[in-house]
Chain A
Amino acid sequence: DSGVTQTPKHLITATGQRVTLRCSPRSGDLSVYWYQQSLDQGLQFLIQYYNGEERAKGNILERFSAQQFPDLHSELNLSSLELGDSALYFCASSFRSVGTGELFFGEGSRLTVL
C-alpha cells in the first residue's frame, strides 16, 4: 500500500461525457502527479501540482484539466470524452517538487469510454 488513494477504481461512461478522478496523496506529500497509461502509449505524464500550484505540464489535452485543493487532494477532470481516452489514470505523490525522485503511485482509475 503506497498510501496514495485514487477513486473511483473503475469507471464506465459514454462518449461526450465528463468524469472526475480523485486522488488523495500520502500524508505530508505536497506534490501530486497525474499519468495516463493506455495500451499503445505507455505511461504518459499529464500534469504536476505542488502545494496547490501547477508546476509542470506534459501531454495533457485541452479537454482535460486538473487542480490541487488546499487539503492537497487533487482532481483530474476529463470532458467531451472520446473512445481514445479509455486508459488507466495514475496519480502519484511526493514530498517535494524535486528531490530524490521517489514517487508513490496509487492503484489507478480505469476509465472505459463506450
Chain B
Amino acid sequence: DAKTTQPTSMDCAEGRAANLPCNHSTISGNEYVYWYRQIHSQGPQYIIHGLKNNETNEMASLIITEDRKSSTLILPHATLRDTAVYYCIVRVAERGSNDYKLSFGAGTTVTVRA
C-alpha cells in the first residue's frame, strides 16, 4: 500500500466545514483512497472512498487532486459528535488483488469545539 501522510491533529469550530488533508504521493493507478474515523475507543467507521473522481455521500465529500497525489476529506458542517481520529488509507480494491487488508496509520485527531 502507498503510504499516507496526515497532520497529527487539527481543531475545527462547530458548524463550520472541516477540511482534512492527506498526502499519498506514491499512490498507484489501481489504488483507491479510503477514509475511516474512530470515535474514542469505538470501532472504526467507514466514511467514504474514491479513485480519481470527487465523491460525496451523506457524511462527507472527498476531493482528489488530478494527479491523485493528495486528497481532502470535507465534513461540511462539523458537530461535536465528529470529534474523532480520521484515517486516510490507500488500498487496491480490485478482484484478484492479493491485498485484502486496510492498513491504518496514526490518523488525524480532529477536535470540534463549540
Q: Which A residues fall within an 8 A CB radius of B?
A: 2, 4, 31, 33, 35, 42-43, 45, 48, 50, 55-56, 58, 88, 90, 92, 97-108, 110
Contact = CB atoms under 8 A, between A and B. Distances in A.
B43 A105 contact: yes
6 contacts: A33-B101, A101-B32, A101-B49, A101-B91, A102-B49, A105-B43
A92 B49 contact: no
Interface stretch (B16-24, B66-74, B92-100): B92-100
B38 to A, nearest CB: 8
A45 B45 CA distance: 16
A86 B25 CA distance: 35
A107 B105 contact: no
Given A100-B93, A101-B93, A55 B100 contact: yes
Interface string B79-114: 000000001000111111111111111100000000
A104 B97 CA distance: 20
A105 B45 contact: yes
Nearest to A91: B43
Given A90-B43, A98-B94, A45 B34 contact: no
A98 B43 contact: no
A101 B102 contact: yes
Nearest to B98: A56
Q: Which of B34, B49, B91, B101 has the most CB of A within 10 A?
A: B101
B43 to A, nearest CB: 3
A55 to B, nearest CB: 5
B39 to A, nearest CB: 11
B93 A98 contact: yes
